[in-house]
Amino acid sequence: MQNIRVAVDAVVFGYKDHQLNVLLIKRKVAPFQGSWALPGGLVLENESLEAAVERELKEETNVTIDYLEQLYSFGKPDRDPRNRVVSVAYFALVKPSHHKIKADTDAQDVAWFPINELPELAFDHHLILDKAKTRLRNKLTYEPIGFDLLSNKFLFSDLEKLYMTILEKKIDRRNFRKKIMSFEILEELDEKVSEGRGRPANLFKFNKKQYFKLQKEGFLFDIK
């Protein structure tokens, strides 16, 4: 007779302080009490996977997300020291400024962490996060994910930094700008902000209506 439990875990990415961040909770209970982990928990008896991950996010972080994408299933026999648990992981892209995070239930704290400054994670959550980073990197090449991560108005340099952070490499800024602008899904606004010591730079915004129109016509967003 099988005695396998099903859990869900969520990798929530956000762009904050000019860096890609991930949302983590500090566990209040054993195992790994006091350790940082991805939000998540066991699926209730009469609950769908999607309802479970939405509930756990709300309970542990106070974050409500409209769109969650299923990532992968993790089921090594020893991944949870208590019993056999298979976790179905999800990931999402959000704008941190749109969410007021707050720890509750079995989380004693919740915080955004820059992707390159992560603490040691509980369970096998580093594997889940690595899988999510790979999915995000792949998604970057065929979808303008800045829609979901950047503020409604942003500097072009923020878009460059976002891509460099996710790709983990430098980009040719001139070619990148030329290619992005050729898609005609960005609008340059008549608004400027100071960026460091240089001259004030214009703000941009995404034209989602134009993007979805082009997508219907068979437009391929391709950044490689």
Q: What's the CATH number of domain 5-124, 3.40.50.1370, 3.40.50.2000, 3.90.79.10, 3.40.50.300?
A: 3.90.79.10
pLDDT along the chain (224 residues), means of 10: 92 92 96 97 96 96 93 95 95 94 93 96 98 93 87 92 89 91 92 80 92 80 70
The contacts found for 45-48 with CB under 8 angstroms, 24 or more apart, are none
DSSP result, 93-130 = EE-GGG------TTEEEEEEEETTSPPPBSTTHHHHHH
- Looking at residue 18, its pLDDT comes to 84
Location of each CATH 3.90.79.10 domain in the chain: 5-124
- Determine phi and psi for 175, rounding to 5 degrees: -65, -35
Where in the chain is CATH 1.10.10.10?
A: 146-216
Q: What is the CATH number of domain 146-216?
A: 1.10.10.10
Let me know: does 43 contact 57? Beta carbons within 8 Å.
no
pTM of the predicted protein model: 0.91
Q: DSSP state, 44?
A: P
